[in-house]
A = this chain, B = another copy of it.
Amino acid sequence: MTHTSVLAVFAHPDDAELGCFGTLAGLGAAGFDVHILALTNGANSCSPDAAFRPVEAKASAAVIGADLIIEDFVDGALEARRETYSCVADHLARLRPAVVLTHMVGAMDHQDHETAGRATTTMAGRAPYVKLILQAEPPLMNNLFCPNLYVDVTRYMPDKLTAVAKYQSECDKPYVAERAIRERATWWARQAENQDLAEDRHYEAFRVVKAKLDPELLRAFGGRAPR
């Protein structure tokens, strides 16, 4: 493997887009191979067009040239079983990602999110090659979400909006509307910047589960050439 990998593990197609697509775009631009793993095909939508969800997901991932994997667990029935944990573990072992993103655990927003977040946090936490594990904001019912990491995705907002817009079968969900996505990203920008920010910044918000750093990394916070 010539590039370092990022693996985003979420329950349904569209979860990665809503929670961290700007960050994935930024990681891609920074030279990572980006992989998105949807554990179900999202067929449980109210929409009659749910059968198109995998096609939509493909088009969405293509916006940033990400690799998309859709597993065949049943939407709404992603249970805390051995198969779920093994599936996540196998993809981790195959891709050996340095960065892993997944659902927040404990939000009580959707049973599949809880299962996917627990399995991924557990399995990534055991993998020695994983350097960073982040849990993303839930799209609904985020009142227990206490972020401590904010990523400036301003320059990747067009990609994020384009990707979410691929999900035509979801367009009845209010949180996939462009306005809702912009408001959300503006909200996190205000928290990240303590309200001082220019009106046109956009951020995504995360909870750090584990980060393992070389001090060189910290140069990114503003250091310059080594002395």
Interface residues of A (CB under 8 A from B): 3-4, 22-23, 25-32, 74, 76-77, 79-82, 85-86, 98-99, 105, 108-111, 118-119, 121-122, 125-128, 131-132, 140-144, 146-153, 156, 173-175, 179-180, 183, 186-187, 190-197, 199, 208-227
Contacts and interface: CB of A to CB of B under 8 A. Distances in A.
Leading 7 A-B pairs by shortest Cβ distance: A26-B215, A4-B222, A217-B220, A31-B223, A77-B82, A98-B222, A30-B223
Contact of A111 (B26, B119, B156): B119
17 contacts: A4-B223, A25-B215, A27-B215, A29-B226, A76-B86, A108-B125, A110-B126, A140-B194, A143-B146, A143-B210, A148-B208, A149-B211, A183-B183, A183-B186, A183-B187, A183-B190, A214-B220
Nearest to A32: B223
Given A79-B80, A141-B194, A143-B191, A156 B215 contact: yes
A76 B144 CA distance: 29
A211 B207 CA distance: 10
Given A195-B175, A218-B30, A219-B30, A80 B82 contact: no
A199 B192 CA distance: 25
A29 B195 contact: no
With a 10 A CB-CB cut-off, give which of A79, A86, A108, A227 has the most chain B CB atoms: A108
